[in-house]
Structure 1
């Protein structure tokens, strides 16, 4: 009996010790993990710096072009009918250059060089594939002169007719994306410049001309030193912390990171801001759902519909009306001010989350969030983006411009030209490296801590149960003894 009592006491003592140790270890372990991540996450850390300078994760730039099936009908006011073709895939290579640290304010300045290589194996066709689309240079000229006097419009129209330019044209994928020579632009722009219009447009035209083997400007960002919550946050872009494109100070703010890195210790309630040079503005992401990549648990963030809502549905977007009295329906962003006056309108692919009238303005749109939404899967402890898919659609606003004869019967619609998916996903080898360096130690600490708490609680509960059972048995034995003695 004494031996059993001794074992019971020791079990209780061990259980209490394990229980207390487990409870005490939780905040200590969290603090150790927090400090370790904080130490490693800054751009002063060698491993973080190396992966930041040259992203080890493959990046793909994929395009789908919209092939116009009925150009003759559209020229006479018909509803455009479009067929999606692609993808045409490129491997995107990035490398930080001209990197300079500024210890006085914990920032780093750099440019990011990018170049693209066509990947035939991942493409459904070649860059030489041809399709029918709108003559963007013609619509650009029409858009520039539409607010000018009649005689300027008539001069522009005469140049268009002299060049025998149709409002729709056949192009190869390569020409549309990377550019082709368009003498009409040069002649028209030169004349309009001589007449006093401040126009600066290259006669080598393409939607992404100038972006291959190039960069998108100077960045100055926080290194995360001293305050990890600011890790990667852009302080200035091209030496400014505001933009010149929009009509309100809020819309012209440069907010967030470049979308490849985020602060550590991400919470589901966080709003993640990203500055996009493609969009010439900052956007934001909110938590959507849990996700995983290569067995690693992640938080999926996406752009909510209100990011591209009209100012009527979201008054914060009033500043994206350019000019201030030209407000587009929900789902559209007028890019005219940051693309040399081109009637370029950005949206999500297939007009996802756009006004119904926009979607129904053309045939061929079938939006769904899984295929056409923009997502970022973030590892919450480190803030690392293990999967990102940025999806945009470039459209041209068709409209009738007085004195430009080729536009006089056009329907007033937003015509899709191309949509893209710029994506990156962590590889198995990088995921395994992450697991060994962080996830496995975290798991061991968590499992060990909660195992200690569980085992301690079990031993204490078992000891209490045994003690109570023995006490009840002693009382029962005592009553039986008293009953026997009484009889």
Structure 2
């Protein structure tokens, strides 16, 4: 047992970690058994009418959280034995949790009009289209700000006159496949929204478990350039064993890109030691500090989209809208962003994006994914309502997606991690007992101490002062006496 136990544990653990039908990993991956919470914090623009005043900054108040319980399920699963990968779609289902929320989905929020900001940005290089768009915006009576309910901004969506008019033109510059606007419109319970994934099952090599090979039938995205367009890393729910302290890659479909998560030491979660990975300066840089990130900046012909560090350009991922993603409250971003707006300041403890992974099994123990969605407002001389506005990133909202192991799963994880030690202890005890028995046997053999039960005597001697006689024990009632 002492010799074979480690190999037995490794074999069983490998078989259960592989993403194959019947394994523990497959059951957890097919339908996530832990609670996932999605919290939304909305920014309310309190002074949109003062945007043209050079002495006034856009002022934002924070509302929320509006908490949803999120459930993940994998569908359309197809196994590819030729390269040990699995192809699938995923469904995310959201249910509003009123008790955990601070507010109602009917709360009214005022913010910059996303459609009004997006339309001129899409055709910003074509003056003729900008002029025509201005006429359309006049007909639609478009304004810089808009007020809707939280639910309309998030999942329900709302009808927008400008969006309807733009879609009716059928111009290839405007390729928006939605009849309503909503940040997560048509996402709830959709198996198509996140796209199609192809990733390694770990059957060939466990070190490749969960690593994506393709997204939407390609190993590159159309949203970045060069190496930045490569589909790398995992989706964050299945990881291979991590035997070192290197950084890891996390592919985020909402960004259409890979985030480099930086190793930040060891942490303890529920009695289990894990690797802590943070979204650091390398993840958020646009090429200023790390030249290799220049290809995330929009390409060599799009210098205007190269924002200071801290805001990732995801405009191509969002149908051309001027969307830039940062950490909440512009945490770890260039100070210029906060200098142009009046909003709650960042908090290093609550605004961090991190993941904790148990390195031996690759099991994620705790995840807090936090991202803030911002839209770029900038002047266009052909668009009347934007002719004199400042160039500023308008914070729209940020979300916090969190999940962690339940106490029961953490208990099972501790047992799994202690299996080798438990085997060694049991084997050691057995060896000790065996040695005690072996030594005791030798000792008793050498000294002749083996216990034997004596047989009753067949005869008894009766002795007195004068006579000695021998009689049968059968004729004596008490032979002992």
TM-score range, shorter chain: 0.7 to 0.9
C-alpha displacement of 1:284: 1.9
Residue from 195, 202, 219 that aligns with 1:241: 219
C-alpha displacement of 1:198: 5.2
Q: Higher Cα Rg: structure 1 or 2?
A: 2
C-alpha displacement of 1:445: 4.5
Q: Distance in 2 between matches of 1:339 and 1:446?
A: 55
Residue from 224, 228, 231 that aligns with 1:251: 228
SS in 1 for 2:370: strand
Higher helix share: 1
C-alpha displacement of 1:62: 0.7
C-alpha displacement of 1:154: 2.6
Residue from 232, 249, 263 that aligns with 1:273: 249
Residue from 64, 67, 73 that aligns with 2:41: 64
Q: Distance in 2 between matches of 1:443 and 1:421?
A: 38
1:309 partnered with 2:248: no
- Residue 367 of structure 1 is matched in structure 2 by 346
C-alpha displacement of 1:449: 8.9
Change (3 A) 1:449 1:285: farther
Normalising to structure 2: TM-score of the pair? 0.83
- Residue 127 of structure 2 is matched in structure 1 by 149
1:289 partnered with 2:265: yes
**Larger relative CO (CA 8 A, sep 6+): 1 or 2?**
1
Whether contact under 8 Å (1:256, 1:273) holds in the other structure is yes
Residue from 72, 76, 82 that aligns with 1:98: 76
Residue from 211, 214, 232 that aligns with 2:210: 232
Residue from 5, 9, 13 that aligns with 1:37: 13
Q: Distance in 2 between matches of 1:311 and 1:415?
A: 22
Listed as ranges, the matches of 1:64-463 within 5 Å are 64-77=41-54, 78-150=56-128, 152-178=129-155, 179-191=157-169, 193=170, 197=173, 199-215=175-191, 216-248=194-226, 250-264=227-241, 266-324=242-300, 325-326=302-303, 327-436=306-415, 438-445=416-423
The count of residues paired between Structure 1 and Structure 2 equals 423
Normalising to structure 1: TM-score of the pair? 0.82
- Residue 446 of structure 2 is matched in structure 1 by none
Q: Distance in 2 between matches of 1:172 and 1:133?
A: 11
SS in 1 for 2:349: helix
Change (3 A) 1:286 1:98: same
C-alpha displacement of 1:268: 4.5
Whether contact under 8 Å (1:269, 1:286) holds in the other structure is no
Provide the aligned C-alpha RMSD in A: 2.3
Structure 1 residues without counterparts, runs of 5 or longer: 1-20, 453-487
Q: Distance in 1 between matches of 2:189 and 2:110?
A: 28
Whether contact under 8 Å (2:69, 2:97) holds in the other structure is yes
